Amino acid sequence: MHFTSEQRLDDGVLERAFTLDRGPGIPGILWTPASATASAPAPVILLGHPGGLRAMYPRLVGRARHAAANGFATATIESPGSGDRPRSGDAEQARADLRRAVLAGEPVDDEIVDRLVLPLVAKAVPEWQTALDAVLALPDIGGPVGYSGGVIAVGVRLALVEPRIVAAGLFAGSYVPRATFDEARQVTIPLHVLLQWDDEGNDRQLALDLFDAFGSQEKTLQANMGGHTGVPPFAGEDAARFFARHLT
């Protein structure tokens, strides 16, 4: 990992862009609260997102500032096939098939979802783990680790295979592969699942079924109104308290 730029935001949060030294390089951003030092390292939350760091930046930095106000560092990396990262022909084809089905008003075939999401999960999860190795090697960052956001299939796999992640706040979205349900049953870490009840692009029943499938003894579903991007401020605060309970 090497840092490519650094700026101090007005609330004292240190924002550092980095490139992860894996293959052709994966861009990412690390935010640390002013309070984080080598003698008081900050716990870190990995910020999941649907891909496209540049377009997602305003929402990501908002989540990062909020987490920093609670004493948490946050880190995110670009998704495989998003931003400036090389496209995969198979993923582009699956995305085109998905778009065609949605525009035609047809149900989206499980097979299309598998072709779109499973390779993404398989690629993204080890990249998140490499990012975690690099971030935890920094003196001002410590454990434990949380994962927050989508893509939910990535979050589920990470919750299952990465023992350093002790709590996950997941954003319920559609297009969940059948295999993710099997993995969800084996997840045991505390979960806080956000569902936008009136999100028209979302399959609500699927989100409820996935929540039901999770094996965790502590799992909370919080459903709110406001559409896909309209998570109310108090829901962000409740999620922050979830991480405060489990990461501090």
What residue ranges bind its own copies (CB under 8 A)? 197, 208, 211-212, 216-225, 232, 234-235, 237-238, 241-242, 245
Q: By C-beta, is 175 or 243 nearer to its own copies?
A: 243
Tell me the closest approach of the beta carbon of residue 218 to its own copies, in angstroms: 6
Q: Count other C-beta atoms under 10 Å from residue 245's C-beta.
A: 12
Nearer to its own copies, 108 or 221 (CB): 221
Burial class (CB in 10 A: 0-12, 13-18, 19+), 205: exposed
CB of 50 to its own copies, least distance (A): 24
Burial profile 220-237: b = 16 or more Cβ within 10 angstroms, e = fewer: ebbbbeeeeeebeeebbe
N-to-C CA span, the chain: 26
Question: Residues 68-98, buried b or exposed e (16+ Cβ, 10 A)?
Answer: bebbbbbbbbbbbbbbebeeeeebeebbebb
**How far, in Å, CA of 214 to CA of 20, rounded?**
31
- Residue closer to its own copies (CB basis): 180 or 216: 216
Of 99 and 241, the one with the shorter C-beta distance to its own copies is: 241
User: Of 111 and 237, which CB lies nearer to its own copies in the complex structure?
Assistant: 237
- Closer CB to its own copies, 203 or 218, in the complex: 218
Q: 85 or 246: whose CB is closer to its own copies?
A: 246
CA distance 147 to 47: 6
Give every CB contact of residue 241 below 8 A, 6+ residues apart in sequence: none
Q: How far apart are CB 93 and its own copies at their closest, in Å? A: 36
Minimum distance between the CB of residue 114 and its own copies, rounded to whole angstroms?
28
Phi, psi of 217 (to 5 degrees): -70, -35
Q: Can you read off the two tokens belonging to residue 112?
A: 């299309």
The least distance separating its own copies from the CB of residue 244, rounded to whole angstroms, comes to 10
- Closest approach of its own copies to the CB of residue 245, in Å: 7
Q: How far apart are CA 30 and CA 15, in angstroms?
A: 6
Q: Compute the least distance from the CB of residue 167 to its own copies, in Å.
A: 13
